[in-house]
């Protein structure tokens, strides 16, 4: 079911594309390069949780916490396919200014109600499974490079039981509905030759997000924008009055107040 997170002191909300473990870099970009303050940044998946031992993420936070506090900024992480789902489902990283949120969490900030749903399918999952096996053989049991429950999940109840006071105007996912870019499958031929179920599973992934979109519309949520990452490209387009935005790696996009 839904979890709710409120950021009443944030004066603007930004969304970032994939960061792939560049935690210190994204804080530098937010607080120093752009000099932003009073800002909530939401990372739309492929954050990089699970590739290192759990203590690593706390140590990184300790290095950046003062900078975030001084600028009065916060970072929220949404699950990607290159993330260990347990960090999100179990809220294993839950600091005041730096936290992972479970799928179907709702974030309230700057008069927005933002629904977050993570997950996607890794095109190189077979190679990643092989690397996981090698890590287990070496006794590296606390880290991995792939997780079997990586795909997005359609949870109808989590949508149907959203309280009316949390009517959703913005959605952040890692992947996208099937009618959004990217739609072509260029570059997948070699991967699907090794992994015959890959194309089917990618199609299922996109159809899952279609279901989320359709159910939100059926429940009459006033969605104005939908932002996602995953494809390492930039694109904007509209459908049914909703602005869809695909973000490149570490690309920032503001959610207007």
Summarize pLDDT for 171-187 with one digit per residue, the tens: 999 999 999 999 988 88
Structural domain count, the chain: 1
How far is CA 199 from each of CA 14, 26, 204, 205, rounded to the nearest angstrom?
A: 32, 32, 9, 10
Q: What is the pLDDT of residue 49?
A: 98
Residue 15 has pLDDT above 90, yes or no: yes
| pTM of the complete model | 0.97
pLDDT of residue 185: 81
Q: What is the per-residue pLDDT for 257?
A: 84
Which pLDDT score, from 0 to 100, does residue 137 have?
A: 93
Provide the domain limits for residue 9: 4-255
For the domain that residue 243 is a member of, what is the CATH number?
3.60.21.10
């Amino acid at each position: 079911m839904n979890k709710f997170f409120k950021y009443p002191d944030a004066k603007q909300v930004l969304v970032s594309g994939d960061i792939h473990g560049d935690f210190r870099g994204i804080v530098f970009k937010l607080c120093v390069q752009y000099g932003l303050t009073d800002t909530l940044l939401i990372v739309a998946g492929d954050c990089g949780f699970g590739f290192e031992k759990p203590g690593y993420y706390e140590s990184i936070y300790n290095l950046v916490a003062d900078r975030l506090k001084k600028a009065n900024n916060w970072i929220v992480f949404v699950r990607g396919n290159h993330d260990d789902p347990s960090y999100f489902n179990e809220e294993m990283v839950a600091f005041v200014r730096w936290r992972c949120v479970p799928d179907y969490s709702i974030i309230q900030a700057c008069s927005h109600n933002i629904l977050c749903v993570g997950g996607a399918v890794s095109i190189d999952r077979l190679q990643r499974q092989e690397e996981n096996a090698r890590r287990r053989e070496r006794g590296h049991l606390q880290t991995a490079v792939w997780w079997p429950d990586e795909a997005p999940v359609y949870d109808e109840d989590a949508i149907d039981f959203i309280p009316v006071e949390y009517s959703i105007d913005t959605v952040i996912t890692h992947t996208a509905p099937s009618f959004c870019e990217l739609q072509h499958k260029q570059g997948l031929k070699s991967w699907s030759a090794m992994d015959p179920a890959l194309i089917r599973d990618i199609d299922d992934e996109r159809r899952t997000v279609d279901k989320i979109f359709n159910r939100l519309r059926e429940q009459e949520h006033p969605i104005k924008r939908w932002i996602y990452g995953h494809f390492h490209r930039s694109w904007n387009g509209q459908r049914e009055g909703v602005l869809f935005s695909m973000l490149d790696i570490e690309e920032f996009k503001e959610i207007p107040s």
